[in-house]
Amino acid sequence: MKKLKVTMIVTGFPTPDNPSHGVFNERAAGLLADYVDLTVLQLRVWKPGRKFVSFEPDKLYKHYTVSVPHLPFGNHNILCILLRLFKMVIYRNLNDPLCETDVFHSVGASFSGALGAGLAIRFNKTHVMQLIGTDINTELPDLLNKSCFKVLKEKTDGVGCNSQELKYNYERLFGKTENIEVIYRGIDTQKYDYSFNCLGDGSLRFLFLGGIPFYKHVESGRNLKGGLDLMKAWESKERMFNENNCKLIFAGPDSDSEFAKNWRKSLKYPDNVILKGILPPDKVMDEYKDCHVVLIPSLEEGMPNVALEAGSTGKCLIASGVGGLPELIENGKTGLLVAPGNSAELAEGMTKLILNPGMIKEMGLKLRENIITNFEAKVFPQKYFDLYKKSMECN
Q: What is the DSSP letter of 300?
A: S
CATH class of 189-374: alpha beta
Q: Is 1's pLDDT higher than 70? A: no
Sheet of 37-46: strand order equals 53-56, 62-69, 37-46, 5-10, 103-107, 126-131, 158-161, 180-182
How far apart, in whole angstroms, are the C-alpha atoms of residue 348 and residue 286? 27
Q: What is the DSSP letter of 2?
A: P
pTM equals 0.84
Q: Predicted confidence band at 57 (pLDDT cuts at 50, 70, 90)? A: confident
How far apart, in whole angstroms, are the C-alpha atoms of residue 383 and residue 182? 9
Tens of pLDDT along 114-138? 999 999 999 999 999 999 887 887 7
Q: Is 177's pLDDT higher than 80? A: yes
Tens of pLDDT along 265-275? 999 999 999 99
pLDDT at 216: 67
Q: Which residues contact 112 (CB under 8 A, 6 or more apart)?
A: 9, 10, 11, 43, 106
Tens of pLDDT along 197-213? 776 566 899 999 999 99
3-state helix, strand, coil in the chain (%, to 5): 45, 20, 35
CATH fold of 5-185+377-394 reads Rossmann fold (3.40.50)
Question: DSSP string of 35-84?
Answer: TSEEEEEEEEEE-TT--SEEEE--SSSEEEEEEEE-----SHHHHHHHHH
Q: Return residue ranges of the chain for CATH 3.40.50.2000.
A: 5-185+377-394, 189-374
Q: Predicted confidence band at 214 (pLDDT cuts at 50, 70, 90)? A: confident
- pLDDT above 70 covers a percentage of the chain that reads 96
